[in-house]
């Protein structure tokens, strides 16, 4: 039988292979080839300009993506009312002249490119694997003999077949990248499940409310902001929201920790870069915005995003587009943003550390995850879940926790929240032998002394009153036996080892003012 550790290693190896596939498939060669067609067509047909329009697979929008004089951004063309729309809709070539004397979509493009269109030959780009159009090529302003004819349309149609091959090859490449990235995410998720990162416990009322909100917003196209102290599980909730959306769950979940990216690298991290954009850019790389296409972009510690990048970030998410560093092509973005912070983002806005317009753009719904000390009903179930998962990961069979350890867990304040609990259980499993029960001797935790003395007398907490009662009775028994632990255990009707564990748990010997030394006999 394959062990969990071996499965995880195989997943890591496959993940590494998919990383190399992602890096190997680039778009630079494709864009260079398309630009070559743009430059060669006018010379071949004795014309002035060329434009290449492509249809978007999902929306069927028609985009002018490559063309002579097209410097700033892509232009969308209407299906009706434009020559290219007619060619793509009918699947037939269109020849039209005297356009400088007639109104139409061509004049809109002329204004943006500072050009005057007199005549056009437009040929649809037909898919080589199906009877549908993937785009169209327009040749503009034939200079000799001043008008396009059917022979031009036939010749361009023959050449466009090779262009169709390039386009569809690129689209297959892009799909390979998307699928491999999706597999990458799925493998990462599977590996994290094996390591115990994605199961979620919500025994407490507070966490049930959090999960209720997450389940409601999951299927909706709204941005979400999650607040909570470090280690409370903000990314886990973000993944639950992502995976509860039928439209996005099979698309990428891209997590970015804004506090871990140097300010100088922030722009290239989000927007990507082209080969040669800066020293060290030996290959092109898509940014996080492109990676998250169709899925979710999770921005952890968003309050740490530098002010210098915030205007560019805001513009990108408002217009749903941007350019890689060193690139001219405009890339369109479509993703849900889930952001998170351990700091109060509203206070950061007041201090001038975070833009107010970006703050309101980032989320429609906010979720607050309480610290672990405020949801104590989750502590024991979480500890048992971590024990099961860590046993499997370590290939061990630690039986469980002693009652003293469970009581310590319930009473501890957990400043590091769920992450600290997970690490403590991991440590205890590592130090406990197979078939044994985790004892308090290996615990690194200590109950603060004020819990033993200054408890609220009006509190209705049963664990708190039980702890205070046990401390009082232990002190009374030790006082009566002048510190003899064997005799005190007999008076308390517990074993000597149990008394020893409770003395250690409550730090009685260290923190209480005893008038006698503790002895074993």
Is 48 in contact with 140 (CB distance < 8 Å)? yes
| Same domain assignment for residues 166 and 64 | yes
**Together in a domain, 121 and 211:** no
Residue 129's Cβ-count burial label (10 Å; 0-12, 13-18, 19+) is exposed
CA dist 243 and 188 (Å) reads 14
Let me know if residue 1 belongs to a domain: no
Q: Do both 162 and 200 map to the same domain?
A: no
Q: Kindly state whether residue 159 falls inside one of the protein's structural domains.
A: yes
Residue 29: its pLDDT value, please?
Answer: 67
Q: Is residue 8 part of a domain?
A: no
Q: What CATH code is carried by the domain that includes residue 158?
A: 3.30.450.40
Provide the phi-psi class of 187: left if phi over 0, else alpha when psi is between -120 and 50, else beta.
alpha
* Whether pLDDT at 8 is above 80: no
How many angstroms separate the CA atoms of 267 and 479, rounded?
68
Higher-confidence position of 329 and 366: 366
Considering 370, 397, 417, which residue would you say is the last residue of a domain? 370
Position 270 in a domain:
yes
**Most confidently modeled of 16-20, 251-255, 424-428?**
424-428
Q: Are residues 389 and 294 in the same domain?
A: no
- Low-confidence winner among 186-200, 252-266, 365-379, 381-395 (lowest mean pLDDT): 186-200
What pLDDT was estimated at residue 454? 45
The tens digit of pLDDT for each residue in 137-179 reads 999 999 876 789 999 999 999 998 888 888 887 777 666 656 6
Confidence of residue 478 (pLDDT cuts 50, 70, 90): confident
What pLDDT was estimated at residue 408?
A: 84
Q: Are both 290 and 332 inside the same structural domain? A: yes
Within a domain: 18: no
Q: How many domains does the chain have?
A: 4
What CATH number is associated with residue 429?
A: 1.10.8.60
Q: Of 370, 390, 413, at which residue does a domain stop? A: 370
Average of per-residue pLDDT across 194-204: 60
Crossing angle of helices 462-480 and 496-505, in 10° steps, is: 120
DSSP for 159-208, written as a single string: HHHHHHHHHHHHHHHHHHHHHHHHHHHHHHHHHHHHTT-S-----SHHHH
pTM for this predicted structure: 0.56
Q: How confident is the model at residue 174, as a pLDDT?
A: 65
In a domain, 516, yes or no: no
- Does 521 map to a domain? no
Specify whether 346 is located in the same domain as 211.
yes
| Domain extent for 58 | 28-173
348 and 238: one domain?
Answer: yes
* Same domain assignment for residues 336 and 456: no
| Whether 416 and 489 share a structural domain | no
% of the chain surpassing 70 pLDDT: 82
Residue 2 lies in a domain: no
Same domain, 157 and 202: no
Instruction: Look at residues 442, 470, 502 and tell me which one is the last residue of a structural domain.
Output: 442
258 and 340 in a single domain? The answer is yes
Instruction: Give the range among 86-100, 170-184, 315-329, 400-414 with minimum mean pLDDT.
Output: 170-184
Q: Which stretch of 3-17, 205-219, 376-390 has the lowest confidence by average pLDDT?
A: 3-17
- The values of phi and psi at residue 467, to 5°, are -60, -45
Residue 222 belongs to a domain with what CATH number? 3.40.50.300
Cα angle at 222 between 218 and 223, to 5 degrees?
A: 100
Q: What percent of the chain has pLDDT over 90?
A: 20
Cβ neighbours of 186 (radius 10 Å): 15
Same domain assignment for residues 406 and 324: no
Reading phi first (left if > 0) and then psi (alpha if -120 to 50, else beta), residue 293 is in: beta
In this structure, what CATH number is given to the domain that contains residue 481?
A: 1.10.10.60
CA distance 440 to 489: 18
pLDDT at 87 over 80: yes
Residue-level length of the chain: 521
């Amino acid at each position: 039988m394959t062990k969990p550790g071996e499965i995880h290693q195989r997943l890591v190896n496959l993940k590494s292979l998919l990383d190399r596939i992602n890096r190997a498939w680039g778009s630079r060669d494709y864009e260079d080839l398309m630009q070559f067609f743009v430059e060669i067509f006018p010379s071949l047909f004795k014309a002035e300009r060329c434009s290449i329009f492509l249809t978007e697979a999902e929306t069927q929008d028609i985009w002018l993506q490559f063309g002579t004089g097209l410097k700033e951004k892509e232009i969308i063309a209407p299906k009706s009312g434009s020559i290219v729309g007619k060619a793509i809709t009918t699947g037939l070539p269109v020849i039209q002249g005297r356009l400088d004397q007639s109104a139409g979509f061509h004049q809109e493009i002329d204004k943006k490119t500072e050009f005057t269109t007199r005549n056009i030959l437009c040929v649809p780009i037909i898919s080589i694997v199906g009877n549908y159009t993937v785009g169209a090529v327009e040749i503009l302003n034939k200079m000799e003999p001043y008008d396009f004819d059917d022979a031009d349309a036939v010749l361009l149609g023959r050449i466009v077949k090779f262009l169709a091959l390039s386009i569809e090859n690129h689209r297959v490449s892009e799909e390979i990248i998307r699928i491999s990235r999706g597999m990458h995410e799925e493998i990462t998720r599977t590996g994290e499940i094996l390591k115990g990162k994605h199961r979620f416990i919500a025994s407490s009322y507070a966490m049930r409310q959090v999960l209720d909100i997450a389940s409601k917003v999951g299927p909706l196209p709204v941005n979400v902001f999650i607040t909570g102290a470090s280690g409370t599980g903000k990314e886990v909730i973000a993944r639950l929201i992502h995976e509860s959306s039928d439209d996005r769950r099979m698309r990428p979940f891209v997590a970015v920790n804004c506090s871990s990216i140097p300010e100088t690298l922030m722009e290239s991290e989000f927007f990507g870069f082209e080969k040669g954009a800066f020293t060290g850019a030996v290959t092109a790389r898509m940014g996080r915005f492109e990676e998250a296409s169709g899925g979710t972009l999770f921005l952890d510690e968003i309050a740490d995003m530098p002010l210098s990048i915030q205007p560019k970030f805001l513009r990108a998410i408002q217009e749903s587009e941007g350019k890689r560093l060193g690139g001219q092509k405009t890339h369109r973005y479509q993703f849900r943003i889930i952001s998170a912070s351990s700091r109060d983002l509203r206070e950061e806005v007041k201090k001038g550390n975070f833009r107010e317009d970006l703050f309101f753009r980032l989320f429609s719904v906010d979720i607050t995850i309480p610290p672990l000390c405020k949801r104590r009903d989750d502590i024991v179930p979480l500890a048992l879940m971590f024990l099961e998962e860590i046993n499997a990961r370590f290939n061990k069979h630690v039986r469980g926790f002693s009652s003293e350890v469970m009581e310590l867990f319930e009473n501890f304040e957990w400043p590091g929240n769920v992450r600290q609990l997970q690490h403590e259980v991991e440590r205890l499993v590592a130090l406990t032998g197979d078939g044994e029960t985790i004892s308090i001797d290996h615990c690194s935790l200590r109950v603060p002394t004020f819990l033993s003395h200054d408890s609220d007398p009006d509190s209705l907490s049963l664990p708190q009153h039980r702890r205070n009662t046990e401390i009082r009775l232990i002190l009374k028994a030790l006082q009566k036996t002048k510190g003899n632990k064997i005799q005190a255990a007999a008076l308390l009707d517990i074993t000597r080892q149990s008394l020893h564990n409770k003395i250690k748990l409550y730090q009685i010997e260290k923190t209480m003012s005893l008038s006698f030394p503790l002895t074993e006999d």
